[in-house]
Each structure stands twice: as C-alpha cells, then as structure tokens.
C-alpha cells in the first residue's frame, strides 16, 4: 500500500511539472552540451526580467532536464568562488538548483530538482551574501538557521532532509531565485525587520550564490 502511495505522489508530481517549451529546450541544448551556460546578469534588462520571473516545476525524467543539470554545474564551476546556482540564473525559469554542501564530508556540489522548503526555524542567522547575477552587490541578510527540504533527483526519487547553518543559507538563497526574489530587492523589503542574531557562518561565507 505504501509503495502504491509513493508511486501516486510521484505521478501527481510529474503531472504538475509542465513540459519544457521549444524555446527552453533550444537554450538548454544550444552549443556544447557539456559546457557552461552563460550566467544572467541584472545589468542586462532582458536577463533581469528572467531573474524576476517565477519558476515552474520540471519533469525530472525528461532527458533535457539531465542536460540542464549538467550544464548548470559547469556554469557554477566556471565562477570564482560560487557556492550555489539556480536555473533562472542561466535563463531557464525552472526549479533546479545546485548547492555546495558544507555540511557534508568533502563539501560536495549537489543538485536538487523541484526543491521545496516545508519548514523553517524561527531562529535566524545574520550573515553576508553576494550573488553571481548581481555585480558589485553584497550585504548582510537574515536567514533561518534550520530548514526542512523536500526535492527529487533525476530518477524521480523523492527525498526529505533537515539542513542547518551555512548550507541552509545557501539553499534559502537559491530557492528565493526560483520565486524571482533577488537579494538586492530582499534588503529593501526587510529594512524594518529585526531578528535575534546567530553567528552560523564559516570562513567560506564569502561565496557568491
């Protein structure tokens, strides 16, 4: 019975994932499939609009999703100190992110498809953030110290885990991108907010996301 329920949940998830458009497929497969995709910048008006758009779910079993995942990793590796990237940052408004896992041995890069934060702690971190898509911008931001995350992999397998500290900050930053939220706008909206300060950042907190 449990197996049937899991299959049903997976089926519903796939139904909710809109098919990639011809334009998206063209962008994903343009050029060398093993190369980095260009990282969008707020300094370009059209690219800025893409960064502000909401992202839709993506079918993890679509062969083009695997290509997007691979090329996004190359995009992140091409940066100077980047620790995370979201699909809107390469021009695709779909729910895919890469995050460097500072909470795991070896600090590996890992991808996450259709990630959702289902719970956030009230306790907040305050720490520095930059963004690969926003040149010359850096500031201090509040983020939940602990989050619960749900996502799927390229096989459609669903996962749930608790993440805390600096890695939780990266997840929150990247998932904000999926909702068209940029830290430059976030700072203005949070101007009058106040939280308890918790120092949960580490020496590598200078990374861009």
Please say whether the dihedral angle defined by the alpha carbons of residues 59, 60, 66 and 69, taken in this order, is positive or negative: positive
**Any catalytic annotation for residue 57?**
no
CA distance 143 to 125: 5
CB 176 within 8 A of CB 95: no
Label the pairing between strands 96-100 and 138-144.
unpaired
3-class secondary structure, 24: helix
Which of 45, 129, 174, 190 is flagged as catalytic? 174
Residues with active-site annotation = 174
């Amino acid at each position: 019975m449990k197996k049937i329920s899991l299959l049903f949940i997976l089926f519903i998830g796939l139904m909710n994932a809109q098919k990639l458009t011809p334009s998206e497929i063209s962008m994903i497969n343009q050029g060398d499939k093993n190369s980095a995709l260009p990282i969008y910048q707020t300094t370009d008006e059209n690219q800025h609009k893409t960064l502000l758009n909401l992202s839709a779910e993506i079918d993890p079993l679509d062969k083009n999703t695997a290509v997007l995942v691979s090329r996004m990793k190359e995009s992140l590796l091409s940066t100077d100190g980047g620790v995370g990237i979201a699909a809107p940052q390469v021009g695709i408004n779909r729910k895919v992110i890469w995050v460097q896992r500072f909470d795991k041995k070896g600090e590996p890069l890992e991808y996450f498809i259709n990630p959702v934060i289902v719970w956030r702690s009230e306790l907040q971190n305050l720490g520095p953030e930059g963004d690969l898509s926003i040149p010359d911008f850096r500031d201090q931001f509040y983020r939940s110290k602990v989050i619960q995350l749900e996502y799927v992999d390229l096989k459609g397998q669903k996962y749930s885990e608790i993440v805390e500290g600096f890695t939780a900050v990266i997840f929150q930053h990247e998932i904000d991108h999926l909702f068209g939220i940029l830290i430059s706008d976030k700072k203005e909206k949070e101007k009058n907010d106040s939280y308890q300060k918790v120092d949960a950042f580490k020496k590598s907190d200078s990374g861009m996301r």
